[in-house]
Structure 1
Amino acid sequence: MLTFRFETSRIGPEIEALIGKTGDRAAAHRIIGLTLYDQTVDRFQREIAPDGTPWAPLSPLTLSSRRNKRGILRDRGELFGSIHQVHNATRAEVGTRLNHPKVMVMQSGATIRPRRASVLAVPMGRGGNRPAFIRKAVIPPRPYIGIGRGDEEAVKDALLAWLDA
C-alpha cells in the first residue's frame, strides 16, 4: 500500500490557522482529505505526476497487448479504483488500497529481467496466445500518489470556502 499524509505539524501557518478557526479538527481534516483525493484523481485522469510532469507514454508493445486503449494505467481500472482517503483529528491521508508490487512499479518505475531464461515472454493480443519475446522490460515511473503542485493552495481554498459556508 502507498499513502501520503498531510499532517498539520508540517503545513504552513495559514492552513494551521484555518484549521484552528474551524473548532472541529476532524471535520477540517475531512475537507483536506477530500480535497487531496480530488486533486489526486484529477492528476490521474490527466495522466500527470504530482509535480506536474506528464507520464511517459505507453510503449508500442504495451499498447498492442492492451485490452482497453483508454489511457495510461487504466487497462483494468484497478489502480484508479483503489485511490482513497482517510482522515482523523490530526491528519489526512490519500493513497491506494492495493498491496501489490505493481503499485510501486507504477509509482517508481522498474526494469524487469528474466530470472531463469534469456528472454521474457510477454503475452500479446486477446488471450495472450502469441507472446512477444524481449530481453528486458523498462517501465518508466508514472507517479500518481503524492502531494502535488497546487495542493496546498487547493486545501486553503477548500477550508476558506467551508468556513464561509
Structure 2
Amino acid sequence: MADEPLILQVDADQAKRWFGELHRRSADLSGLMAQIGEDLTESTQARFDTGIGPDGVAWQPLADGSGRTPLNATHRTRDGIHPLSGVDWVEIRADSKQARWHQEGTDPYVIQAKPGKALFWPGMQMRTGKDGKESPGFVKKVNHPGLPARPFLGISEADGEAIEQLAVAWLELDAEAGNLPPA
C-alpha cells in the first residue's frame, strides 16, 4: 500500500453544469445591456454638474472667469446623451452637434458672420464712429482661440466597478449563495 501512488480524480461534470448554466444565462444579455446603458447615461450626465471627466480630471474652467461649471449654459449637450443597446452590446450617444467639439476640443477657428449680418455679443466693446457717437462694435468675423477638451463620455473607474457588479448580479455567479446548479 505504501508503494501505491496517491491519485486524485477530478470529475468535470460539475464544471460542465456550471458552464452550461452560464451559457444559458448569457444567451440574451439585452436586459443587462439596457441597465448598463441607463447607468452610464446617468453617470455621464452627472459629469456636467461636477465638471470632472471620466478619467477623474477636472475640466478646464471657462475663460470668462465666472467660476461656472463648463457645458451647463443650455444643457443641450447633456440632454442629448442617450443609451442604445441590444442583445450583446451597449453604446452611449451624444447627439448635439457640439458634443464632439467639447469631448475632443478644437483648434483655433474663425467665426464668420452670415451674409448681410454682423456678429455681436453682450459685453462687446463699443466703437466710436466718425460722428463721435458710441455704438456696439459689430464685426464680420472673429478669431476664436479654440475649445479645450472637456471629456464627458467614457467609463470611469467607478463605472467599471458598477458594470462588473451588474454583470455578476445578472449572471448570478455567486456559487457560495447557491446560485449555481448543484453537483
Q: How does 1:10-159 map to 2 (within 5 A)?
A: 21=25, 24-60=28-64, 63=66, 71-98=69-96, 100=97, 102-114=98-110, 123-125=121-123, 130=136, 135-159=143-167
**1:151, CA displacement in angstroms?**
1.8
Secondary structure, in 3 states, of the residue corresponding to 1:84? strand
Deviations along 1:57-102, one digit per CA (max 9) or x if unpaired, are: 00117x5xxxxx853101111001101101100101112122x2x2
Distance (Å, rounded) in 2 between the aligned partners of 1:148 and 1:71? 19
Relative to its length, the structure with more helix (as a share) is 1
Seen in structure 2, the aligned counterparts of structure 1 residues 36 and 20 have a Cα distance that, compared at 3 Å, is farther
**1:42, CA displacement in angstroms?**
2.3
TM-score by length of 1: 0.65
Is the 8 Å Cα contact of residues 111 and 144 (structure 2) preserved in structure 1?
no
Give RMSD over aligned pairs.
3.5
Is the 8 Å Cα contact of residues 124 and 131 (structure 1) preserved in structure 2?
no
Seen in structure 2, the aligned counterparts of structure 1 residues 115 and 84 have a Cα distance that, compared at 3 Å, is closer
TM-score by length of 2: 0.59
Number of matched pairs: 135
Secondary structure, in 3 states, of the residue corresponding to 2:52? coil
* Greater RCO, CA 8 A, separation 6+: 1
Deviations along 1:22-68, one digit per CA (max 9) or x if unpaired, are: 6531111112212222221222321111111010000117x5xxxxx
Seen in structure 2, the aligned counterparts of structure 1 residues 116 and 153 have a Cα distance that, compared at 3 Å, is closer
**1:135, CA displacement in angstroms?**
4.3
The gaps in structure 1 that reach 5 residues or longer are 1-16, 64-68
Seen in structure 2, the aligned counterparts of structure 1 residues 59 and 21 have a Cα distance that, compared at 3 Å, is same
Secondary structure, in 3 states, of the residue corresponding to 1:147? coil
The gaps in structure 2 that reach 5 residues or longer are 1-20, 114-118, 124-134, 173-183
Q: Look up the equivalent residue of 2:91 and give its one-letter code.
A: E
Q: Look up the equivalent residue of 2:34 and give its one-letter code.
A: R
Relative to its length, the structure with more strand (as a share) is 1
Percent identity of equivalent pairs:
26
